[in-house]
Amino acid sequence: MSAGRPSDGAGGGAVQRERCLLPLHDTQGRAVRIDVVIDQPAATGRPHPALVLLPSSLRDSLDCDVFAAALAGLGWRVLRPQPRGMGCSTGPMDGLDLHVLAHDVVQVVDALGGGRAVLAGHAFGHFVARVAAMDHPRQVRGVALLGAAARTFPPGLTGALDVAADPAQAEPDRLQALRRAFFAAASDPSEWLQGWYPQWRAAYRAAGSSPPKAAWWPASTVPLLDLQASEDPWRPADSRNELRDALGPLVTVEVIEGASHALLPEQPQAVAAAVDRWARTLPP
């Protein structure tokens, strides 16, 4: 495990960042190594509650340093496991589904999170988080949905994702796609020209459909925070309460202003504060 220097988090305390490569085995006994970034309060002497951040489609979470440090500054041990094929994570890419990806995450919770954690899934990451909560409820305290799309995606946005993620496309076209599908009018989309893994598009798109959304979207045994962005085209205003309508008081809905689907690089401090407020209400 490599250690970094302490830095300041949003909560005012010093934050320590480390990174490790965790050797695991998947549901078929095959070797997997998961690259995990860990942000936590630098002060030692007591355990800190764990929160696991799962990134959006075809991206790692290595650009989420500000958000992770903000949560760590508020007292959380923030784990960022990179999906297979991203960062330094490795493992079989054939036959991926949400159960397999959820199993990777829960093994990280067991190894580094004390066996129980809050999961925060950004966009596609919330698919994995929701299935992890369904498959492994004893290890999941609750799930924060960060920039989760409407149950039925609005037309045209998946195509914009494909353009934005593809470095072979012309940069002006990619920036236009990023503005359309990911970033609010006042945000700079250029930071997301990097950090994509388009070579895994087919593998992760197939994984996202197995099990089908109907198996997990309308069901939950743990509390959910549906944290939406005010300018997110993936989440039209008329879908604001669709998850709460389906699951009732298990769901807390909150809207972050001045952000779109990217959300975390746009408003990291506001998102961290909202997640912290909600997560503090969860049973241990």
Write down the pLDDT at residue 5.
47
Q: Which residues of the chain have pLDDT under 70?
A: 1-12
* Type of residue found at 38: I
Contact (CB, 8 A) for 72 and 56: no
Tell me the pTM: 0.95
For β-strands 31-41 and 14-25, DSSP reports them as antiparallel
- CATH-assigned architecture of domain 2-153+208-279: 3-Layer(aba) Sandwich (3.40)
Which residues have a Cβ under 8 Å from the Cβ of 157 and sit 6 or more positions away? 149, 180, 181, 233, 234
Beta strands in the chain (DSSP E): 2-3, 7-8, 14-25, 31-41, 50-54, 77-81, 117-122, 140-146, 224-229, 251-256
Q: Provide the β-strand partners of residue 78.
A: 39, 51
